[in-house]
Amino acid sequence: MSTRKTLVVAGHGMVGHRFVQAAIERGLTERYDVIVYGEEPREAYDRVALTSYYEVGADALSFLPGGKYEDPRAVVTLNTEVTAIDREAKTVALSDGTTQAYDVLVLATGAAPFVPPVPGKDLKNVFVYRTIEDLQAIEEAAKTAKAGVVIGGGLLGLEAANALHKLEVETHVVELAPRLMAVQVDDAGGATLKRHIEKLGLTVHTGVMTEFIDADKDGVEDGKVSGLKFKDVDEVLPADIVIFSAGIRPRDQLARDCGLEVAERGGILVSPNMQTSDESIYAIGECAAPGGRMYGLVAPGYTMAEVAVDALLEGPGEFLGADMSTKLKLMGVDVASFGDAFATTEGALELVYSDAVAGVYKKLVISEDCTKLLGGILVGDASSYGILRPMVSSGIALPENPEDLILPASRGTAQIGMPDEAQVCSCMNVTKGEICKAIHDEELTDVPAIKQCTKAGTVCGSCTNILKNLLTEEMEKSGKAVDKSICEHFAYSRQELFDLIKIGQLKSFDAVVEAHGTGRGCDICKPAIASILASQFNGHVLDNKTTGALQDTNDAYLANLQINGTYSVVPRIPGGEITPEKLIVIGEVARDFNLYTKITGGQRIDMFGARMEQLPEIWKRLVDAGFESGHAYGKSLRTVKSCVGSEWCRYGVQESVAMAIELELRYRGLRSPHKLKGGVSGCARECAEARGKDFGVIATEKGWNLYVGGNGGAVPAHAQLLAGDLSKEDLLKYLDRFLMYYVRTADRLQRTSTWIDQLDGGLDRVKEIVLHDSLGLGEELENEMARHVDTYFDEWKATIEDPEKVARFVSFINAPGTPDPNISFTEDRGQIRPVTFDEPVSLGSSIPVGAPQ
């Protein structure tokens, strides 16, 4: 007899989805069949990033594309609302007229926008700001609107105002409180924020009450909004759109109707393990009120979801409150609030730094004895948030002059004796002690290495400045000088060397050493300078007079060295498009040389097991068939992945394959500080995974969105939007500038994601330079890319046509025809693979070596 039970989840928002994820991950579906009802017409999506819907579309926001979980024991039904609960029968009534029995019921109904009882709130073109459907309706109305008003100047209200502003509608923000973001910032901080927002072209009205929403006098029967009337103000503010974003209220009516206990100010009362007054019913997220308090942020909701799953697995988890500190960017303005931001602690003192010209406001709240940091507010510059917030939670003693923490000359945490147990990275729960130990034990010398080793700073990045300070402190403790020298032979950073080589037109390593260095070079400066030379002058990587053996062993033989001393061969397949004839050639080459073949994640075919002396012959076969080097061995462009685009896909809005091919052929061979990968998706469904690439292009109805700074690997990064709805001409122009600026200024072996992260100003700085040409480099960067495109040549073809270069491809110089006897293979799944040191050779010894098979 089956002992499986039924668990019903009412609500498929962000928190409901997280509950189901945790239930699957932790094995709760071994005990329960999970049935989820979502009343919206789409699966759970990122409501926090709702405004980005206008840039990326609904599919990109989805947490569950396709509406199905991998575990078939968790099933989602959309467009279906739980309308009533029968606690005695343990059933729920559904909006489609049916009922569903449950053993356990989890309420994740969230919250609803609060709409004050303002006359005219039911007029046409009056909206709330909560769902994708709301945004779609606003977008449609904005097509014929000139002016719009957002009622509510809190976090949600400013997000709504940002959305309206992006739709190119004259935007007004109306707030009853005397300042914006009244819950997070004080009067001075609100005033600073207001100035920032008004500089963007929005109009802010604070301390005013909306008396009524006016209707169109020429068409009253149409019921369309025409303006907004403030109390005690005679004039009506013209408006074609009104958006209510004045807060949220917990959706607890289901609980009230079935007799569950609710909090005095709304929300379903729950115990620390998220259980309601009925032991078979749990509540999580914004509809719940642990300790009588509603939490309107997603992070506490996620914690509640985890606690509820733990409780159902008889675990000890409890929800005992949440840190409501926030750091965000609103319309390009940094805003942060943490701890006791409003000095409610008895005897608390306030330290304030304000720069009206720069638009910066900072406030610290400290204890009466000036020993502890209690909280603070940051507007315009929140870079110290990652330093200050841990001081509150860990109780770190303040320095003798605490004002140094917010003054521009502050050096931050490394100067104030942060204890080893203090949490530096709250996202990944990494302490100062763990970071310092990693720096010392692993001999880490830069921030990217710290991130890779400890994972600190890899999520929100707000602790990056602390990582820099701790690195400096630890290196100074060890007696190491902190400088930017690329190595002992050059007292310059990579960027400085790039400029010196460019200005001096130095075209060989020897010339660079003679002009700016000492000694004979090393395995750090040689490949770095060779890469710079290749970037600027595009010489063959095997030309000893210019670049020599570029980067490492892989570049030295234009192929990737494998575990057993053989090499892989990866021909370029632009955009993943290939003819049957070329497929046949690859198959014949792999067969004739007995190579292991594999289709890569970058839409290419990799062939493994080629001996060094076989490489030129393999390349010749491929080059004769129209292939060229795929640069899988180099710090250069690898691939530009694509979906099938509008030519084949019913969802495609642009021809992604053609675009991917054009981009790959344009940037092939571009030598860079680290490898580069691109992707082009034909619609927002993102089948090419473009936002996981160094540059990603996603089609829109109006053109192309350009994303930069993504990558997979040990420390994955999601690409960020650089510019949207671009024409092909602008796309190429901005991408040319971005890539060449990266090549020119990034550090050696630095991916685009960490390069952007460490730029002063980050992505905003990139936008200034690439989009707005703030440095006046735009034309120069475009010309450099044009020169690269014009001078490109295939390294494989140039190698096999040069006897001097071909001569290096031998295992033994004194016996050119002799293959390396140490290379052996065995067989798995019908293909060769290298033997391990402890297994017998079953195939390798029987394969003739030194010639095609």
Half-sphere exposure of 531 (CA within 13 A, CB side): 31
Q: Say what angle helices 494-504 and 509-516 make with each other, to 10 degrees.
A: 100
* DSSP category for residue 747: P
Tell me the CA distances in angstroms from 769 to 36, 561, 742, 761, one per residue in order: 47, 38, 11, 11
Q: CA 238, CA 147: separation in Å to the nearest integer?
A: 7
Q: Does residue 634 come out as left (phi exceeding 0), alpha (psi in the -120 to 50 range) or beta?
A: beta
Q: Which of 632, 635, 630 is nearest to 533 (CA)?
A: 635
CB atoms within 10 A of CB 91: 17
Q: Across the beta sheet with 360-366, what order do the strands follow?
A: 326-330, 333-339, 373-379, 360-366, 349-355
Which 3 state secondary structure label does DSSP give 711? strand
How would you classify the pairing of strands 430-431 and 423-425?
A: antiparallel
* Widest CA span in the chain: 99
Closest by CA to 113, choosing from 17, 243, 268, is 243
CB 188 within 8 A of CB 355: no
| Residue 683 assigned to a binding site | yes
Q: Is 649 annotated as a binding residue?
A: yes
User: 37 and 82 in contact (C-beta within 8 Å)?
Assistant: yes
Quick one: 31 exposed, middle or buried, by C-beta within 10 A (0-12, 13-18, 19+)?
middle
What is the rounded CA–CA span in Å between residue 573 and residue 603?
7
SS (H, E, C) 272-293: CCCECCCCCEEECHHHEEECCC
Residue 411 CA to residue 413 CA, distance in Å, equals: 7
734 near 706, Cβ under 8 Å? yes
Is there a binding annotation on residue 525? no
The residue count for the chain: 853
Q: In angstroms, rounded to a whole number, what is the distance separating the alpha carbons of residues 281 and 103?
A: 9
Residue 104 CB neighbour total at 10 angstroms: 21
Per-residue DSSP letters for 561-574? E-TTS-EEE-B--G
281: number of Cβ within 10 Å: 25
| Region for residue 22 given its phi and psi (left: phi exceeds 0; alpha: psi -120 to 50; beta: otherwise) | alpha
Helices (H) and strands (E) in the chain, counts: 25, 38
Residue 718 contacts residue 742 (beta carbons within 8 Å): no
CB neighbour class for 62 (10 Å; exposed up to 12, middle 13-18, buried from 19): buried
CA distance 173 to 177: 12
Element (DSSP H or E) covering residue 91: strand 91-94
Contact (CB, 8 A) for 88 and 258: no
Q: Please report, for residues 17, 108, 158, the alpha-carbon distance to residue 96 in angstroms, rounded to integers and kept in the order given.
A: 22, 19, 37
Question: Are 827 and 812 in contact, with CB atoms under 8 Å apart?
Answer: no
687 is in an annotated binding site: yes
Contact predicate 466/436, CB 8 Å: no
Q: How far apart are CA 436 and CA 261, in angstroms?
A: 49
Q: Nearest CA to 527 among 484, 569, 490?
A: 490
| Radius of gyration over every alpha carbon of the chain, rounded to an integer in angstroms | 31
Q: Is there a contact between 305 and 284 (Cβ–Cβ < 8 Å)?
A: yes
Task: Give binding residues as ranges.
Answer: 643, 649, 683, 687
Task: Give binding residues for [4Fe-4S] cluster as ranges.
Answer: 643, 649, 683, 687
Task: Give binding residues for siroheme as ranges.
Answer: 687
